[in-house]
Chain A
Amino acid sequence: MSREREPTGDELLAMAYADGELAGDARLAFEARLAREPDLRREVAELQGLAVLARQLAPAEPAELEWQSLAAGWQQRAGTQVGLGLALAGALLLAAGLLGWILWSTLPVALKAGAAAIGLGLAVLLLVALRARRRLAPLDPYTKVKR
């Protein structure tokens, strides 16, 4: 959706709908179109998202800005993805190992490997959380609040 040109008739209708300004038959007709037209649904969803942002007028807190910079860094994203990936792969291996144990009463390698992968994944996620905490803690004034 570009706002560098005049809005089309559908965009104006979507704006009116998102602002709750369509009433009666016009609203019912627009809702019927929404049910049929995915592009119109996306347009309305985007406008509703802008309305939610506009309601949150307060400036971003220092910790929020730091969090955004942290979340944009490759280390944080890679750490989270690797941690979650390992934990998920471990859970699948564990399930396969448990199935093997139930069916053949053996303790297959999958069971041990699955448990190890889950442990490693959780350890990576803990490191990611510790790194974020270390970066954000100096910007958290509420730790000084007295009971």
Chain B
Amino acid sequence: MILATTEAVHGYEVAETLGLVCGSAVRACHVGVDVESAMQNLVGGELVHYTKLLAEAREQALDRVIAEGRARGANAIVALRFTTSEIASGAAEILAYGTAVKLRGIS
């Protein structure tokens, strides 16, 4: 599966557009991590647990977009975007979306 944030992929042309695909994930750490991160926040530096939490949510949302694309018979998702929202305090919330397409190599 080719993932691209651009609408065109070098060396390929769009043979078929299959439509919008999206995947979302909302993840949280347990309260111990929140307390530890609050202390880290006082002294500065990277909040490593939250960085990891965001990466987990990003990968999960991305996997869901890919699964949706595969189910539609796509071999690529173009114009891929990530966005975030605010539902729960202290949770990482990611929505990934793009356009599922069938790409064909330009000979």
Residues of A within 8 A of B (CB): 56-59, 61, 142-143, 145-147
25 interchain pairs, CB-CB under 8 A: A56-B68, A57-B68, A57-B72, A58-B64, A58-B67, A58-B68, A58-B70, A58-B71, A59-B71, A61-B67, A142-B27, A142-B56, A142-B57, A142-B59, A142-B60, A143-B56, A145-B52, A145-B55, A145-B56, A146-B52, A146-B55, A147-B48, A147-B51, A147-B52, A147-B55
- The docked-state distance in angstroms from the alpha carbon of A56 to that of B72 is 9
- The docked-state distance in angstroms from the alpha carbon of A143 to that of B33 is 14
Q: Are B71 and A57 in contact (CB under 8 A)?
A: yes
- The docked-state distance in angstroms from the alpha carbon of A93 to that of B17 is 59
Contact pattern, B 28-67, Cβ under 8 Å of A = 1, otherwise 0:
0000000000000000000010011001110110001001
Which residues of B lie under 8 Å from residue A57 when comparing CB positions?
68, 71-72
Which residues of A lie under 8 Å from residue B71 when comparing CB positions?
57-59
- The docked-state distance in angstroms from the alpha carbon of A58 to that of B23 is 10
- The docked-state distance in angstroms from the alpha carbon of A54 to that of B43 is 50
> Inter-chain contact count A-B, CB under 8 Å?
29
- The docked-state distance in angstroms from the alpha carbon of A143 to that of B27 is 10
Which residues of A lie under 8 Å from residue B56 when comparing CB positions?
142-143, 145
Which residues of A lie under 8 Å from residue B48 when comparing CB positions?
147
- The docked-state distance in angstroms from the alpha carbon of A59 to that of B63 is 12
Which residues of B lie under 8 Å from residue A58 when comparing CB positions?
64, 67-68, 70-71
- Other than the known A142-B27, A142-B57, A147-B55, what 16 A-B pairs have Cβ atoms closer than 8 Å? A57-B68, A57-B71, A58-B64, A58-B68, A58-B70, A58-B71, A59-B67, A59-B71, A61-B67, A142-B25, A143-B56, A145-B55, A146-B52, A146-B55, A147-B48, A147-B52
